[in-house]
């Protein structure tokens, strides 16, 4: 057999770069990360252009989970499309139900009874905690820490048990509809919910001791993937990804919707470890560590909101507007945004006088947050890419709608 040499393969081109390595020549390589890869948090394909351990460029490719959800919404009545919103950000289905229902209510002028307003705030904030627990657990898994994943899902089970008692489902709930929730609280729900809050709140400090301030975890995430406030705004980032870079922007606070103006809570933002006590010195505003830690702080604020909602909620009374499922959409349009666990979820809805929308368009926060990946993954180490993707916390169901 003839020996194969480089000279016998004239069509092969090697991009040799010696300027940085002297006599040691290196070769660039394209590496496919995904679309089925545990560190991409879904069916996301990222093509990495690498030079050894250095990532020179990272390009995300989407579309592997597209289901034509918006087009389907233009052939269904709003209440029939609510289950489709569950499947967008499937880790925060209650929040999706909530925002879409508010958009329809504002377009059609529907008024929800007081008890119904509190019920959906309780459901949405419990789901925010459950969503952040998944982010906390899977991010630890991305960084090589398995124990936080077990703890996060243990606590999340309590919330899923509450949701199962509330609506019979544990992931895609279809509980909040235009006009209010589809059913009232079951017996004993309030007591079980308070018991969970008392149990869970101290656990957050345990998680911080276990992972947030763990030396290895801090080294992997602090001062990595830094996004400035200007960049975050320019790329349309929202939610924890935006607030970790400094802006104190939370729609529940700056543009209160539903009854969020009745609750007291703080809006956590990114912290600088060199000027803030108790924060790792390596932490820089807008880095991976802060994007993670903002979610840890937000869970405490959600606990505060749920406690206040349970205290303020009317003991009984109607919780749903009668006839809301038969309402006709006026010949008008509306764009409404709500604060989801991953950022601002918006719905553009246009009616034509019938019961079926003429046009539905969703603005998924994960889609916009993902847009900065190519910029922030430039000239980083290969091991930093899972840290950056995990800190953005995308859910591909709302990227590929």
Task: Per residue of the chain (401 residues), give pLDDT as tens.
Answer: 444 443 444 444 444 454 555 556 667 889 888 788 777 788 889 999 998 889 999 999 998 888 899 999 999 999 999 999 999 989 999 999 999 999 999 999 999 999 999 999 999 999 999 999 999 999 999 898 899 999 999 999 999 999 999 999 999 999 999 999 999 999 999 999 999 999 999 999 999 999 999 999 999 999 998 999 999 999 999 999 999 999 999 999 999 999 999 999 999 999 998 888 889 888 899 999 999 999 999 999 999 999 999 999 998 889 998 888 888 999 999 999 999 999 999 999 999 999 999 999 999 999 999 999 999 998 899 989 999 999 998 998 889 88
CA 86 remoteness from chain centre? 13
Residue 99 lies in a domain: yes
Alpha helices per DSSP H over 350-392: 365-370, 373-376, 384-392
Q: How far apart are CA 83 and CA 5, in angstroms?
A: 60
Q: How far apart are CA 62 and CA 150, in angstroms?
A: 29
Residue 370 lies in a domain: no
The pLDDT score that the predictor gives to residue 93 is: 93
Q: How far apart are CA 155 and CA 299, in angstroms?
A: 12
Residue 337 lies in a domain: no
pTM comes to 0.90
Residue 30 lies in a domain: no
Q: How far apart are CA 286 and CA 288, in angstroms?
A: 7
Q: How far apart are CA 117 and CA 137, in angstroms?
A: 31
Give the residue numbers spanning the domain of 192: 78-325+382-392
Cis peptide before 35 (omega within 30 of 0): yes
pLDDT tens digit sequence for 18-38 = 455 555 666 788 988 878 877
245 contacts 288 by C-beta, under 8 angstroms: no
Residue 47 lies in a domain: no
Q: How far apart are CA 16 and CA 130, in angstroms?
A: 49
Q: For 182, what's the count of Cα atoms within 13 Å in the CB-facing half-sphere?
A: 19
* Three-class secondary structure of residue 294 per DSSP: helix
Q: Which two tokens stand for residue 323?
A: 């006839």
CA angle (292, 197, 184) in 5-degree steps:
110
* Three-class secondary structure of residue 52 per DSSP: coil
Residue 267 lies in a domain: yes
Query: What element of type H or E holds 32?
Result: strand 26-33
Strand order across the beta sheet in which 45-51 lies: 16-17, 26-33, 45-51, 54-61, 380-381
CATH number of the domain that residue 111 is part of = 1.10.645.10
Domain total in the chain: 1
Residue 373 lies in a domain: no
Q: How far apart are CA 336 and CA 108, in angstroms?
A: 13
The pLDDT score that the predictor gives to residue 19 is: 58
Q: How far apart are CA 311 and CA 24, in angstroms?
A: 68
Residue 301 lies in a domain: yes
């Amino acid at each position: 057999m003839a020996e194969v040499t480089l000279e016998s393969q004239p069509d092969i081109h090697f991009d040799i770069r010696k300027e940085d390595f002297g006599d040691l020549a290196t070769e660039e390589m394209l590496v496919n990360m995904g679309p089925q890869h545990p560190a991409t948090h879904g069916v996301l394909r990222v093509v990495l252009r690498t030079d050894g351990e250095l990532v020179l460029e990272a390009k995300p490719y989407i579309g592997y989970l597209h289901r034509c959800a918006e087009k389907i919404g233009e052939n269904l009545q709003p209440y029939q499309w609510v289950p489709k919103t569950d499947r967008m950000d499937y880790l925060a289905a209650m929040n999706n139900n909530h925002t879409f229902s508010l958009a329809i209510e504002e377009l059609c002028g529907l008024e929800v009874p007081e008890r119904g307003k509190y019920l959906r705030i309780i459901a949405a904030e419990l789901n925010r905690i459950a969503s952040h627990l998944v982010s906390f657990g899977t991010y630890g898994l991305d960084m090589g820490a398995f124990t936080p994943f077990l703890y996060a899902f243990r606590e999340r089970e309590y919330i899923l048990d509450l949701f199962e008692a509330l609506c019979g489902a544990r992931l895609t709930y279809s509980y909040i509809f235009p006009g209010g929730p589809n059913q009232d609280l079951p017996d004993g729900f309030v007591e079980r919910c308070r018991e969970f809050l008392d149990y869970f709140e101290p656990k957050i400090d345990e998680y911080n001791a276990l992972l947030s301030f763990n030396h290895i975890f801090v080294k992997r995430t602090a001062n990595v993937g830094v996004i400035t406030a200007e960049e975050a705004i320019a790329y349309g980032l929202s939610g924890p990804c935006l607030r970790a870079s400094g802006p104190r922007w939370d729609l529940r606070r700056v543009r209160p919707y539903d009854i969020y103006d009745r609750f007291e809570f703080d809006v956590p933002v990114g912290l600088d470890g060199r000027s803030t006590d108790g924060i790792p010195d390596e932490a820089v505003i807008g880095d991976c560590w802060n994007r993670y830690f903002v979610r840890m702080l937000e869970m405490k604020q959600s606990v505060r909101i749920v406690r206040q909602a349970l205290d303020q909620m009317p003991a009984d009374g109607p919780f749903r507007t009668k006839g809301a499922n038969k309402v006709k959409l006026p010949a008008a349009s509306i764009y409404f945004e709500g604060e989801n666990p991953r950022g601002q979820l918006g719905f553009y809805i246009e009616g034509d006088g019938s019961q079926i929308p003429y046009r539905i368009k969703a603005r998924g926060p994960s889609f916009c947050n993902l847009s900065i990946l190519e910029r922030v993954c430039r000239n980083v180490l290969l091991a930093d890419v899972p840290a950056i993707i995990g800190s953005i916390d995308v859910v591909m169901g709302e990227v590929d709608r």
